[in-house]
A and B are shown apart, each in its own frame.
Chain A
Amino acid sequence: MRLSRRIIPRFLLFFFSSAAALLAQSPVSLPAASSGAWSAEVRVFAEKIFVVLGVARSVSLRFGNRSALDATDSGAAQQELQTELARRGLQIVGSSSAEATLEVTLSEGVEGYLWVAEIHGRAGDQIVIATAHGPQGIPVSSKSVPAFHDTLLLEQPEPILDFAQSAGSDGAQFLVLLEQDRLTLLQRDGITWTRRDSAVIRHLYPWPRDLRGRVTVPGTNSFRIFLPGVSCTGSWSTTLTMECREDAEVAWPLGQEGEFPFASNRNYFGGPGSVRSRLSFEWPISYSIASIPVDGAVRWIITKPDGNAQLFEGGKGAVATFSGWGDDIVSIATGCGAERHVLAPGTGDWTQLDHIQAYEIADQQGPAVGQPLDFRGPILALWPSDDGKSARAVSRNLQTGMYEASIVSVSCGD
């Protein structure tokens, strides 16, 4: 057994209880520390290693990665550790001339990252373990598909139903965030959003499972929200105010072309009890509705429970069926080619990765155009922005479990 011959549990007990005291006594004057993504934890970890190394000042170093971090991020962590060890006067040498061998592993458990050092030296074999919070401030990588632009606005552990951006008269940037039972107003503060105020959404009946919701910002400092069987209006100046009412037949706005009834206890538009059909036939059950204005008329595309999308035009009923699209579709103005494109996520359920694909509707055909935009988890909501030029996507990162709010737009790419 590799470990049992090396580890002396009593030593570990001694180390963990006394390391802090030893560290407090070390009056070492050091050059300025670097300030990388891992710097705070690297310094603590390096200090612990130094306590165990004692007088040894040359080590051979081997680095391993057992975390989910990719080679780039784990390599950055390794580099920071090496820099910190060198800053403290430790020489990294070959194993033949080293006073001790240092095997460092960046590991990961359910509570986060761990630094683990296995030190083989004159004092025997010892282990140092330190927690790490992981890289801070790593920018969200912009996806490199040419025709798509994807901007991550916010991520949080609580589910997000929808969000809308608004600019105040003084130029202040606001984000109105719709959650399950709450509307939150955030204000941009440099590169972050600061929570300014929130209001609880009260409702008589339990929300349906797979709760969906919409928020719009019709004017400066005002908003409307739409939930199954509930609608609210509100505004903010010095404080946030909101008023909600129960309405089993509440109609939701989608883009600039209409409002559509949403079932009060389900996750779809229309169905039995629909009250306002915008077409000349019974409004069918649909998960999303996209409109494409063409020469004064409007084409409609709906996604249906059978997994297909159907195109309606000229009040003639369905003229084309598209398969392989996800349920949440939006139509946005792109200004190139067909002027408008339909965006749709992939198929598959919420345990899987997802993507958004653009489709061009022409001659009752809907071919995919450009490359898909990949997401690190399922897209839970996709709504058109108020100006119709972009889409708001809510996804769940399957790796981190965080809900992510992103703006997706399409332009004439390469």
Chain B
Amino acid sequence: MALPASTARRPRYGGTLRVEIAAALNSLDPAVAAPNPEISSAKDQFVELIGSARADRSSPTSASASPFRITAWEPAKHATLVANDESAGGHPFVDSIEIQMGRSAKDRLLDLELSKTDLAEIPAEEARRAAERGVRLSTSQPDELIALVFVSARPLAEDSRAREALAQAIDRASIANFILQKEGEPAGGLLPQWSSGTAFLFSTVADPGRAKEQWSRIAGSPKILLGYDAGDALEQAVAERIAVNAREAGISMSTIATPGSSPVPAKADAKLVRLRMSSSHPRIALTSFLAALDPVAGIDASPLPDSASPGQMFEREQAIVSSRWVVPLVWLPQVYGLGRRVRDWKAPGPGESWPLADVWLDDMGTTAGGAK
């Protein structure tokens, strides 16, 4: 992440941080929030965003007050936060935060280029283009898995030869290289290498010959119907690429857009899912993935014991992957675009909130911010 040539080291106080996010939060009250089914709990998302529970620098002499207070709230559009002097971690470096909600990816990128915002989410597939346009990027470890999940109780999905054939037909490298513009990496297992240390044991290489062989054993002329989230352009692109791979292997397949809120699509034999790790810890992440996949696929979703060893976690992962009920495709990082004056931003890891209280603005020549 390149910084401007002229910069400082120790944090400066003061200024307003301008943030743009994709989500359009309607209310902080979960009971009335989110007619948009994508947002299960607006409050959860917002708390995640502003980081109310930063553990570092907590002081025993004060309550664990949030570093920011919400002072203005315009549903789905705009929010203003101001620094809280009583925060357990001390006054945040910035005095306030202005958050624009529901901004499209195109608008967010444009605003970064024009210095109209300081921090914005960038879709991983847009990261390369953003970098080419001179936007500073901050990228997390790959922590979001795109996977194909077969829907249990569907006749074709219950046929292990069909699952095996499609799994072997998919060219993950082309998804990572072309659709994600090399901002993702092929996934063979349910956990990334940086977390489990065992992902390299899973192959990510396609085998069209084996795919053809498996498919040829299925009687009749079945057709796999692959569902994807109707509101997710990336899922649509991945689904269409898989359909191309399938046809190349002689597999009959078509794609169908489904409502994002539907865990089990009405018609599809399989669907694409995006799974975000809830923790860096492999056991916790794997357990949450299994819980999320359980309603769709016919897998063993029982939680792993706290004492699960790396070998036991690998064994569970392997059992699911080799069953082909779940076909891991690619890992995505979270990508953030940063304005030139943003300092000390660290892309949050799985389950971590955005470290907005630790961010400061490097406005050379301005004051250091007022002391009491």
Contacts and interface: CB of A to CB of B under 8 A. Distances in A.
Contact of A207 (B57, B367, B368, B371): B57
B203 A4 contact: yes
B8 A268 contact: no
Given A109-B196, A348-B3, A265 B62 contact: no
B6 A323 contact: yes
A328 B368 CA distance: 15
Contacts of A305: 8, 12, 366-368
Interface of B is mostly: loop
A44 interface: no
Name the interface size band of chain A: 35 or more
Interface residues of B, number: 69
Interface centre among B85, B202, B315, B370 (most CB of A within 10 A): B315
Given A209-B357, A210-B93, A263-B371, A16 B195 contact: no
B10 A131 contact: no
Contacts of A276: none
Given A129-B314, A271-B368, A271-B371, A327 B9 contact: yes
Contacts of A351: 1, 344-346
Nearest to B210: A1
A327 B8 contact: yes
A321 B197 CA distance: 50
Contacts of B91: 206, 208-209, 265
Contacts, number: 196
A211 B194 contact: no
Contacts of B86: 206
A7 B56 CA distance: 43
25 contacts: A4-B321, A12-B311, A12-B315, A13-B315, A107-B197, A109-B195, A110-B282, A111-B282, A204-B61, A205-B61, A209-B91, A209-B93, A209-B358, A210-B11, A248-B372, A264-B372, A266-B368, A285-B367, A305-B8, A305-B368, A307-B364, A326-B10, A348-B9, A349-B344, A351-B1
Given A209-B358, A268-B10, 17 more contacts: A1-B207, A4-B321, A12-B311, A109-B194, A109-B195, A114-B198, A116-B197, A129-B309, A129-B310, A203-B61, A206-B87, A206-B89, A209-B357, A266-B371, A267-B11, A327-B10, A348-B3
Interface of A: 1-4, 7, 9, 12-13, 16, 66, 105, 107-111, 113-114, 116, 118, 127-131, 159, 180-181, 202-211, 248, 263-268, 271-273, 285, 287, 305-307, 323, 326-328, 345-352, 354, 378-379
